[in-house]
A and B are shown apart, each in its own frame.
Chain A
Amino acid sequence: MEVFLQTLVSGILKGGLYGLIGMGMSLIMGVMGIINLAHGALMMVGMYVTFACFTYAGIDPYLTIFISMPALFLLGMLIQKYTLNPLMEVDSILPENQVLMTVGIAMVLTEVARFIFSSDYKSVRTSYSGATFFIGDISFSVALVAAFFIAVAFTLSMFWFLLKTDLGRSIRATAQDKDAALLMGVNSKRITILTFGLGSALVAAAGTILMPVYYLFPDIGGPFTRKAFVITILGGLGSTVGAIFGGLTLGLAEAFGATYIGMAYDDMIGLIIFILVLLFIPGGFKRLLKV
């Protein structure tokens, strides 16, 4: 019973974080229909920013959020403006040029990171990194709990932002019907740039708060992109609350898989979930078939 509860807790805490990871991709996919295979790589960049700030400037990892988020926001905007927006105008004979472009960008980001930081595993260890507290017999990792609450805070802010602010409404309008939004004076090019920046900033935040309890190397992006995709589909494109739901589902699935099936198959399970999600999605099904 104890093992069950422990797994449950672990799954939920991870799930909150996963929700934050998925949210950015869900937003980008929902608003622009862009499948961003560079999502994990962007998170990796955010994590290296955190690592660098901590290691060379001694800044507490959680505070580096104020650096990594704006940095990735800017990077995201540049990527959208100069590499993805141009593609939307062109009728290329290569059908999936947009997805391919994000693959290329992911490769560039990963290799540049490898150049600067090498392929060695890096980590950020603070006083509270390994700290745990207990409720009954269940141990809670301090860092993970903090990450969970920060993630929830971000989700709620995003929810409020999209619902209550003008900019948020413009984003949602573009997501629902780009042409209609255009006619109503929404500058959709600007919106796409901002949205990609926003999505990147969110995943940077996720990376930053993940750093104290995880490890870092350049190729870490791939698996996280896969996870983000699964979360996005499970939760529904463009839905912030859905991303949390998807994140929790994935977090719990991984936690229980690890406990009861074994760590060796971790990757395979992730892949299988990815494939199953691709094939059998609820909600997103129609869009996949008729796109």
Chain B
Amino acid sequence: MRKYPPILLLVILILFPLIVRDHYHQHLMILVLMWVVIGSGWNVIAGYTGQVSFGDAAFFGTGAYTAGLFVTKLGISAWWGMLFGGIAAMAIAFPFGWICFRLRGAYFALATLALNEVMRHIATVWESLTDGMVGILVMQTFVSKVPYYYIALGLAVISIVGVQFIMGSKWGYYFVSIREDQDAAESLGINTHYYKMLSLNVAAFLTGMAGALFMNYMGFIDPEVVFSLHDISIMAILVGIVGGVGTLYGPVVGAFVMVAVHEFFRTGFFGFFKGIAALTGSDMINVFAKYVMQAHVLGFGILVVLVILLLPNGIVGDWNLIVKKIFPVKTRGVTG
């Protein structure tokens, strides 16, 4: 019974661009699928292995720039970046993990923050390589969004299936053991340093690939966008925690919700405020609408606070709680 919803979902996703033709919604779904990949990666290192990363943008941006630089510096197609973007991200993750995994818990998280900022700085100031703030512009391969959609879908499926496979194997047991009690894990013969590295590299690979996809799809990147703390790193965390930390389909649910939330703000509650402003002719509401449209960071911040306080295991993790709240169990009276 549990197998059916995911397969049903997959069928719907495969048919989606054939049914829904407008570019706007196709664009949103491509973003959702991209975030499934990133969220799955974050989930592996943070959710399953318990090493929370605040700086996934470091891997995303590395992947994106790898793809972009393949075009500007090597003259080859940015699609090579899909594979090498992931590898480049691992090249960053490897030394970083080697040095920083001695730090536990929150201090490791702080180190990932620093990594995020360092990568952003490097991309900005190393102008001979990256053109700095000017960014990289790449010719898009396809005019229609549909091929990009299926590539993104493919990546998302690979991520979910891959994570499922990993978590059911020895690696999976080891990752969770490290999360639950690192000292106990060591005493059971688990080389925690090595497995933390593995976990981080898996996350980096997936996130790097997503970054490369972003480069190919959007055609333009710059340091502020792809190394953004709020729009990439924090968003990745939100996808993880809203969906459900340490669950397989959490990132899927999280990606849907977070892209929706982002759009919600960007369009001013889907045009609600603009509509009201037009109806009432009120200037103040117009201004308010403008503010809301730029307020997605505030929305993210509030969401972080609320989710941690009220729904710490995410939608998938706390599903039973949610169901109980919406459909409270009615006790049957004793009747004849």
Contact = CB atoms under 8 A, between A and B. Distances in A.
In the complex, which of the residues B50, B297, B305 has the most CB atoms of chain A within 10 Å of its own CB atom?
B305
B246 interface: yes
Contacts of B241: 94, 100
B106 A96 contact: yes
Given A104-B302, A268-B121, A115 B295 contact: yes
A231 to B, nearest CB: 14
B99 A279 contact: yes
B312 interface: yes
Interface stretch (B2-10, B109-117, B133-141, B159-167): B109-117
B114 A90 contact: no
Contacts of A288: 103-104, 107
B190 interface: no
A111 interface: yes
A165 interface: no
A267 B304 contact: no
Contacts of A262: none
A274 B308 CA distance: 27
Given A111-B301, A267-B121, A86 B109 contact: no
A104 B50 contact: no
Contact of B312 (A90, A108, A279, A290): A90
Contacts of B309: 83, 86-87, 101
A94 B245 contact: yes
A74 interface: no
Contacts of A94: 46-47, 52, 241, 245, 308, 312
Contacts of A111: 295, 297-298, 301
A35 B312 contact: no
Contacts of B111: 275, 278-279
Given A93-B317, A271-B118, A105 B312 contact: no
B297 A107 contact: yes
Interface string A66-94: 00000000000000000100110010111
Contact of B246 (A90, A93, A99, A103): A93
A208 to B, nearest CB: 24
A103 B298 contact: no
A137 to B, nearest CB: 35
Contacts of A96: 52, 105-106, 109
Interface residues of B, dominant DSSP:
helix
Interface of A, secondary structure class, is helix
B313 interface: yes
Contact of B107 (A100, A103, A112, A278): A278
Most buried by B among A93, A106, A275: A93
A107 B229 CA distance: 11
B300 interface: yes
A95 interface: yes
B229 to A, nearest CB: 9
B103 A278 contact: yes
Contacts of B50: 95
A271 B118 CA distance: 7
A229 B117 CA distance: 16
A112 B298 contact: yes
Given A95-B105, A111-B298, A115-B291, A275 B114 contact: yes
A107 B312 contact: no
21 contacts: A35-B106, A94-B52, A94-B245, A98-B106, A101-B309, A104-B305, A107-B297, A107-B298, A110-B301, A111-B295, A229-B110, A271-B117, A271-B118, A278-B111, A279-B100, A279-B102, A279-B103, A279-B111, A288-B103, A291-B105, A291-B106
Given A99-B110, A111-B295, A271-B121, 6 more contacts: A95-B52, A95-B105, A95-B179, A106-B301, A108-B301, A291-B107
